[in-house]
Structure 1
Amino acid sequence: MPEIPVGAQIFDVVFHPTFSTVYTGLLTGHIKAFSYDSQGNHKSVFSVRPSKKSCRGLSLDQDGSHLYAVGKAKALYTVDTLTEAIDTRVGAHDSTINRVKHLMPWLLSTGDDDGTVKLWDPRQRESVQTYTQHFDYISDFLWLYDKRQLVATSGDGTLSVMDVRSKKAVPVAHSEDQEDELLSIVSIKGSSKFIVGTQLGILSVFNRSSGWGDCVDRIPGHPLSVDALCALPSGLPNVDTASTILTGSSDGYVRAVQILPTKLLGVVADHGEWPIERISIGGGHGQLSLDTKDSHSTKIGDKSMEVDQEEAFGANDAERRWWVGSVGHEEVLRLTDLEGFFRDNENNQDGKGRLGVDTTGSSEDSDAEEENGEEGDDAPAKAEMMEITESEDDVNEEESESESDVPQPKKRKRQLEEPMVPTKKKKEKNAVVVERSFFDEL
């Protein structure tokens, strides 16, 4: 698995839509860009530092010419990815900005730690709309292009839907309190259903035809919080991209999960003791082919120079790959070959070791099954699960500009008992009961 060291903790990662370039936002306030090839080899493209305070969110416009960055400095930065020029909107929010998303030409959104959402026209200095329906941090955005609607999830346990065409600063829909922090959101099945990751590790399913008032299904299984969700690009072989997503959990695993029918396909990446912060997918179809002999202008260090791509990355490099970029609370960006994962997963259907634990080895349950002559595929196996003992040190952000966002390492220990599924505070009318062995098959 290729790794790109960046020298500091990464808060966000985005891929250029057409070129083989990936951008990272760091704890130190730096924004670092790297070019990569189909083998995972990388080169530094540029490094800028709009602020000495942490950069928490990144978003690229449609052609990748402008990169928008937000963070603890409460400012909105626009970085020209060709010239590295930085435009700063000081005091864009009254509190730390947690998320930013480019929606369409001349429109982007930002969300802060107090739950305020603002819409921006990059041609104007001031925001064009402000929403205040949330009272806790904005954790994620989802853009519904067909309806021109923006969906925001919040730590207050609700999500809201805003019509950007409306002149009223009120949402067109606001869900009921889900009694859990909503951390991430992604659409599946042609944007007819939406999956929301929660603090308890439950995936909540919202159905567009049923409205946004409450979820219609709840899928337990993740042992810890689901902090990041990512949809798959269309056209991947051997996988139903319309109903398969990637989940990033605090237990350090990036999983591929098929929804409705629900099935764990395997672990895409393992970050060890570090919780997953963000997931992004780039490369693949439409990326700049690195096997060409054409040169392009790029920044290497402080010098602008013409770089021959064949010389930089090697000849006969015609294969294009989809890369999964995942970041934990560590100082490296991990790249995983997405097509290679599904290809290997198809060839390895027994699932041994796919969760990073031995589900058929030395546990007392598996020994008992052997003595009774039961076959592992037919018997309801009890898998070993990983449990994270979380550090109780709570660092005050206002006391430091950079070290305040550094998490304490987490220790992992084995648990031989049957995995615990988080209990729901209330059972929804249409709730789906998932067997405890949901994640045990692989």
Structure 2
Amino acid sequence: MPEIPVGAQIFDVVFHPTFATVYTGLLTGHVKAFNYDEQGSHELAFSVRPQKSSCRGLSLDGDGSHLYAVGKGKALHTIDTTTEAIDTRPAAHESTINRVKHLMPWLLSTGDDDGTVKLWDPRQRDSVRTYTQHFDYISDFLWLDGKRQLVSTSGDGTLSVVDVRSKKPEPVAYSEDQEDELLSIVSIKGGSKFVVGTQLGILSIFNRTSGWGDCVDRVPGHPLSVDALCNLPADLSNVDTASTILTGSSDGYVRAVQILPTKLLGVVADHGEWPIERIAIGERQRRWWVGSVGHEDVLRMTDLEGFFRDNEGCEADKGALGVDVSGGDDSDIEDDVQDENCQEPLNAVTSEEAVDGTSEESNSGSGDEQRDSDDDSSDEEPQPTTRKRKAEKGLPLTAIKKKKGKNSVAAESSFFDEL
């Protein structure tokens, strides 16, 4: 697995839409770009430092000509990827900016640690709209292009939907409190369903036809928080890209998971004891690369098609690993499923037991430890922070069957553990 050393902890990673270039935002405030080839070899393209404090979020525009960077300095920076020129909007937010996302040619969004969401027109100096429906950090954005709607997930346990065409400063939809921090979101099934990663390791499924008020299914299994989610490219061969996603968890694994029906397809990357912060996918001459980052100073590059090719034979024998939510709320659950060739037998437990005891070891998606380690003025490389150990594997479990509630599914607690 190729690795790109960057010299400091990485907070975000994005790939150029047309060129074989990957961009990283670092704890030191640097933004470093690397060119890579089909073998995963790399070279530094440029390194700029728009701010001395940490760079927490990156986003590229549609053609990759401009890179937007945000972070602890509360400013919005626009970097010309060709000339390396930097345009800065100071004090864009009143608190640390956690996320940024390019939406349309003349519209992008930013979200800060206080839950404020702002829309920006790059041609103007001031924001065009401000939303304050959240009271905790903004963890992720999802853009629904056909609806011209922006979905925001937050550490306050809710998600909201705003229509960018509306002049009202209120969301058009707002979920109930999910009683867990919402850390990441992607769409599946052609945008009809949405998967939300949470602090307790549950994947919450929202259905557009059922509205945004509450999730319709919950898929347990990750032993720790699901901080990052990523869709697969649509033209990836021999894979159901409409329902397969990549998940990044605090236990250090990047997994390929199929949703509805739910299957674990395998571990794409292993970061050891380092939590996964971000996942992105880029292309080089029809070869897809997964870029994943943890709390270390290297960017890991994984051949995505090579992973599915190597796991194709194993997957044919494995089948569904104990969770099948294809029927929505009233789906049937297979309580006792054994994987004969790829994994040891799995024991069925309730969703509550699957997450029991994990919250104390979970790594918050808000980046609390990251904020504590930020340095606004020092140019020295930060020392690695001691991270929590992975959850112990192989603990004996007794199969327990329990009636499934409306918004939960029964699943094995060792759904992902053996990998």
TM over 0.5: yes
- Identify the residue that residue 180 of structure 1 maps to in structure 2: 180
Per-residue deviation, 1:379: 8.0
Aligned 1:5-404 pairs, distance under 5 A: 5-284=5-284, 289=285, 320-349=286-315, 376=340, 380-381=345-346, 397=372, 400-401=375-376
Structure showing greater radius of gyration is 1
Deviation of 1:124 after TM superposition, in Å, equals: 0.2
Which residue of the other structure, out of 410, 415, 418, is the alignment partner of 2:388? 410
Query: Could you list the per-position Cα deviations for residues 285-315 of structure 1 after superposition, in whole angstroms to 9, with x for gaps in the alignment?
Result: xxxx5xxxxxxxxxxxxxxxxxxxxxxxxxx
**1:280 aligned counterpart, secondary structure:** strand
Corresponding residue SS for 2:260 = coil
* Higher mean C-alpha displacement, 102-111 vs 428-437: 428-437
Question: Does the 8 A contact of 1:397 with 1:404 survive in 2?
Answer: no
Over the matched positions of the two proteins, sequence identity in percent amounts to: 76
SS of 1:348's equivalent in the other structure is helix
1:210-267 deviation per Cα after TM superposition (whole angstroms, max 9, x unaligned): 0000000000000000000000001212210000000000000000000000000000
Q: Secondary structure at the match of 1:128?
A: strand
What is the alpha-carbon distance in structure 2 between the residues aligned to residue 177 and residue 63 of structure 1? 37
SS at match of 1:102: strand
Is 2:398 aligned against 1:432?
no
Pair 87,332 (structure 1): closer, same or farther in 2 beyond 3 Å? same
Residue aligning to 2:322: none
**Superposed displacement of residue 347, structure 1:** 2.9
Shift of 1:395: 7.6
Q: Which of 398-407 and 340-349 deviates more?
A: 398-407
Cα deviations by residue, 1:396-427 (Å, 9 ceiling, x for unpaired): 63984268996433334644314799xxxxx8
Task: Name the CA distance, whole Å, in 2 between partners of 1:413 and 1:136.
Answer: 28
Give the superposition deviation at 1:428.
5.7
Alpha-carbon distance in structure 2 between the residues aligned to 1:420 and 1:71: 46
Query: Alpha-carbon deviation of 1:182?
Result: 0.1
Aligned to 2:332: none
CA contact (8 A) 1:251 1:275 kept: yes
Deviation at 1:437, TM superposition (A): 4.9
Mapped to 2, the partners of 1:208 and 1:14 lie a distance apart of 28
Preserved CA contact (<8 Å) 1:278 1:326: yes
Q: Matched residues in 2 for 1:280 and 1:217: separation?
A: 26
Give the gaps of 5 or more residues in structure 1: 290-319, 353-373, 422-426
**SS where residue 340 of structure 1 aligns?**
helix
Provide closer, same or farther for how the CA distance between residues 27 and 441 of structure 1 changes in structure 2, counting only shifts above 3 A. Answer: closer
Normalised to the residue count of structure 1, the TM-score between the two structures is 0.80
Determine the C-alpha separation between the residues in 1 that align with 2:167 and 2:152: 18
2-side partners of 1:250 and 1:202: how far apart? Answer: 13
Counterpart AA for 2:255 = R
Give 3-state SS (helix, strand or coil) of 1:24's partner: strand
Q: TM-score, normalised by structure 2?
A: 0.84
Deviation at 1:376, TM superposition (A): 4.6
Root-mean-square deviation (CA, aligned residues, Å) is 3.0
Q: Is the 8 A contact 1:396 1:404 kept in 2?
A: no
Is the 2:346–2:412 Cα contact (8 Å) retained in structure 1? no
Distance of aligned partners of 1:150 and 1:394 in 2 relative to their CA distance in 1, 3 Å threshold:
closer
Give the equivalent residue in structure 1 for 2:325: none
Alignment-derived partner of residue 359 in structure 1: none
AA in 2 matched with 1:326: S
What is the DSSP-based 3-state SS (H/G/I as helix, E as strand, rest coil) of the residue aligned with 1:239?
coil
